Structure 1
């Protein structure tokens, strides 16, 4: 077959999985091209919190271990997983983190409790992230990296790192000083303001991807934007390349040693959601970049015989809709991950009943929505009910606290459509069509729990993860405040997501397998393009990006070793000493 061009490795997708695969492959001496169908690079990872869950990362000296990590995960698994693949993540995650540091990507631990703080061997040092990155270090590519959503930027303009987010969102004692400094830094950056509105400070997911892509570009890797995968090309039973299209032009690229599919999940494909999800939800409720992750790479691989796994699971995230301020007739999807668990509020289904510890992890919240919908048919959406105390202090998606957005500033067409308001719980129940007696009883119970500090129904506020997002000024339980100050409010909460947990079935070496479990030669998958090694489990902050980057790393190692004619020993994806020397030499 005649190809338009030829490289050693083609990487499809430019999120964390694809970027790490490309960086590692380049450092192992392979020529690489990244194809990205969007007009900007960075994928969903660039819009995220940028945290990677890497157990036993050893970025600081501690007593975490492989055994403790597996004890924690094993106590939580909800069904069968590929054991060798799970252990490959646990073993190779720390190797990947050390490699990134060697390659010039600075990582640091985040003190973020594992999502199941009561589980055996749970910890608060397994999540890692990058400090704020100066986007101008990307040169002309500064404007081409995918920007974070407005929900991460006050007034759609000012970039916030994790520390600033917590300070401002919880109204910490220094929050005004933090905000003023952020604004001052932005407006005194005169050279960047001449370029555009974007803040040169890249925090969170933008920090992670900015740091990685700085190294990717320094190695001469081409990132080809507006270039979508059409087909995976197979010759003599082996994947040898891809067919791509760009603005109507179709062409083939030979991949002499491997194709890595890292193009995200299928959450923006309604047909696939309807087919696989137990409660499909709508694509618009996803909190990932609009209409990007449609499963094209998944479909292209299954067309050549690839198997799939975990297709009924998503990385769930409660969301709400709010009108887009800058455009008529468009809504924005806002995450409500932490909003739903703040004190002086409660979440109920349409029967007026609670169904979850509202302060639990967002994925567990979504799973609870699904289970309640299957049981009662009265969820998705559910309702977040809160009072004036909550309204004054906390955000609810796009509804800013009344200190910033008093009720008179809320657009009139939002009332009784996006947000509901009444002078009493009874009147509010009538408005949102929830049984009055049920809602009154639920609110009365929550007020009792706020007084005692104990939630006998779901244990809200009884663990470190819940308390992390509570209000330390509220006692005796920072997650339980009374709902007793009029007016009262309610907003509908939808079953959103951060992507899909299911995708192509891949083995411990990140090789895509067919229905018999045999690897398809030359084809690899990482990130949400592949099934999660945890099955339907989200163990901690960064449980999406950590495995994504790790299996991108593993894929590049395996491709490089096969290209050198020395396949990896079964169950191992670690580069040999010679390859490590190559990496060190290239990054010196």
Structure 2
């Protein structure tokens, strides 16, 4: 009964959270004719996925095949085996689940394509690790541009994205090169042409995560999925040990909703819950996260309350960030991975020493920062660069050029010095150590090989650097003053630990048995990727795949 004594409403399946995995599951169930309810505790649909790049890491996907790019389940499995390995402390990433993911992810994207959703592959986005089975062309799949005006009144209920331009991700990545590349200028003109066309026709084409969530929301609404906003789930209800529904608060009223086939938890992680961070990932801050404000972990704790096992709670999807003035008011922080990898820049700890490969992926670099900080002061670290860098590359979200916001100087965010010694003094770094580090790095640049960290050796390193810089895309000397520095922090785009699930996405108890009728996906679950992200889309791809798997299992499992 609800707070007014009325009997609970009943659905076949109830989904907590409105991210990509939720909508994917809902579409599977609606195609089978089941009644589905999606519950979103905020006033906006889409979760952190909507403000992200919306990339999915999908092995052997149909778009690779269409482009003639070779990939296979065996190749992808070999890659995951190499980068994840067998670790007892990563049960969510056990080989059984990895095999299931490699098998089911391409089926998931095929299912959505058959429902009319439109995707494409990024033409080039190499896997993050140079390991057996890696794909250099990459396994990154994204949404096509989507006209969110097709959503009607729901358009205003879709969480805004980070890029207000009708530009594909790979096109947007070229924009910082417009002053130096004719090809980039052509790309800019193409994007501006789309924007003008949209203005004239009344369209509003979105990109990246917002386009992905917009397509999924549109398909869900068309399919008859019921979606309740500002509906905060407080309890998972059990009947004879089986998940039978939820208790929630909506519009100030508590009510129960029954679920005859099951409940899927896809309510995000705990990146915005400082109490949980202090418990599981000490040394991190909710203020450094680019996850949405509602990423507070209560459904993970609710799962634990009813006997679910938690796993991999110390893992996160790291992203090195800067905190320019005003960033405290911004949900998405200044991601610096595409900044620190460019020529004429390095990252050093507070003593002035390099400790990691700056061109590694954002989760890997952030993890190296956290690891190094356990041995030496490194939070914050310093990104050190020279005037060559400032003139050619973006910095903390600003376009290339020496002119930077006045507030940067007023807040001492951008430190500068005519010499490395002057810069070191301003940053509190030992001048001799910083000088020695820079000279050692410059020596590596001149010989064409980073002997300390192999920066620039892998396909991903070369891809993420400057395609116009020769002979190396990522190695460039730091020698032209004045010299500059900004502080870096180990931010994140979400956590990677949560409810432990099996290869059917069923939530497991601490004794290893499944809780009947209860499923989890996304950041609410312990990631199939363990403590790494193998390539772009290593969180959204699994979120959608396990949502697909959970729905299919629920349809075929009237008893457990």
TM-aligned CA deviation for residue 236 of structure 1: 1.8
The verdict on how the C-alpha distance between 1:558 and 1:32 changes in structure 2, with shifts beyond 3 A counting, is same
* CA displacement 1:108-164 (0-9 Å, x = unmatched): 222311111344444423221122111112222122211123xxx3xxx43532122
Taking the aligned partners of 1:90 and 1:184, their CA distance within structure 2 comes to 39
Q: Distance in 2 between matches of 1:416 and 1:140?
A: 42
CA distance, structure 2, for counterparts of residue 287 and residue 330 of structure 1: 9
- Using the TM superposition, give the Cα deviation of residue 483 of structure 1 relative to its aligned residue in structure 2, in angstroms: 1.2
Alignment partner of 2:486: what SS?
strand
Q: CA deviation at 1:471?
A: 1.7
Contact 2:522 2:543 survives alignment (8 Å): yes
Partner of 1:477: 472
Q: 1:192 to 1:239 in 2, by over 3 A?
A: farther
CA contact 1:230–1:245 (8 Å) conserved in 2: yes
Q: 2:496 aligns with which of 501, 515, 524?
A: 501
Give the whole-Å Cα distance in 2 for the aligned partners of 1:449 and 1:203.
39
Q: Distance in 1 between matches of 2:170 and 2:550?
A: 33
Q: Tell me which of 187, 194, 207 is aligned to 1:178.
A: 187
Partner of 1:89: 101
The answer for the alignment partner of 2:382 in structure 1 is 383
Structure 2 residue aligned with 1:410, among 401, 405, 410? 405
Alignment root-mean-square deviation, CA? 2.1
Change (3 A) 1:389 1:3: farther
* Secondary structure in 2 matching 1:99: helix
When normalised by structure 2's length, the TM-score is: 0.93
Give a deviation string over 1:406-444, Cα, whole Å, max 9, x none.
Answer: 43x512464453221222111111111111111111111
User: Please, which moves more after superposition, 206-215 or 36-45?
Assistant: 206-215
Query: Quick one: which of 482, 505, 509 aligns to 1:510?
Result: 505
**Contact 2:499–2:525 at 8 Å: present in 1 too?**
yes
Q: Distance in 1 between matches of 2:318 and 2:201?
A: 36
- Contact map agreement 1:267 1:294 (CA 8 A) in 2: yes
Q: Does 1:288 align with 2:291?
A: yes
Task: State how far apart, in whole Å, the 2-side matches of 1:240 and 1:191 are.
Answer: 50
Partner of 1:333: 333
Which segment drifts farther, 14-23 or 243-252? 243-252
Between Structure 1 and Structure 2, how many residues are aligned? 545
Counterpart check, 1:128 vs 2:135? no
User: TM (normalized to structure 1)?
Assistant: 0.88
SS at match of 2:365: helix
User: How has the CA–CA distance of structure 1 residues 95 and 330 changed in structure 2, closer, same or farther, with 3 Å as cutoff?
Assistant: closer
Tell me which residue corresponds to 1:436. Answer: 431
| Stretch deviating more after TM superposition (183-192 or 344-353) | 183-192
Deviation of 1:181 after TM superposition, in Å, equals 4.5
How far 1:514 moved relative to its partner? Answer: 0.6
1:347–1:354 CA contact under 8 A, matched in 2: yes
- Rounded to whole Å, the distance in 2 between the matches of 1:330 and 1:104 is 35
Q: Could you report, residue by residue, the CA deviation over 1:309-331 in whole angstroms, capped at 9, with x for unpaired residues?
A: 10010011111112339xx9779
> Secondary structure, in 3 states, of the residue corresponding to 1:323?
coil
- Is contact 1:118–1:463 with CA below 8 Å preserved after alignment? no
Q: Is the 8 A contact 1:322 1:331 kept in 2?
A: no
The answer as to whether partners of 1:116 and 1:122 remain within 8 angstroms in 2 is no
Corresponding position of 2:487: 492
Q: Which moved more, 1:56-65 or 1:459-468?
A: 56-65
Aligned residue number for residue 219 of structure 1: 223
SS at structure 2 position matched to 1:483: coil
The 8 Å contact of residues 451 and 476 in structure 1, kept in 2 or not, is answered as: no
After TM superposition, list the pairs within 5 Å mapping 1:292-441 onto structure 2: 292-324=294-326, 333-376=333-376, 378-402=377-401, 406-407=402-403, 409-412=404-407, 414-415=409-410, 417-441=412-436
C-alpha deviation, 1:239, in angstroms: 1.1
Question: Which structure 1 residue ranges, 5 or more long, are not aligned?
Answer: 194-198, 568-588
Contact 1:387 1:485 in 2 (8 A): yes
Secondary structure (helix, strand or coil) at the match of 2:337 reads coil
Verify the 8 A CA contact 1:454 1:477 in the aligned structure 2.
no
CA distance 1:288–1:192, shift in 2 (3 Å):
farther
How much has 1:332 moved relative to structure 2? 6.1
SS at match of 1:40: coil
Output the CA distance in 2 between the equivalents of 1:305 and 1:329: 37
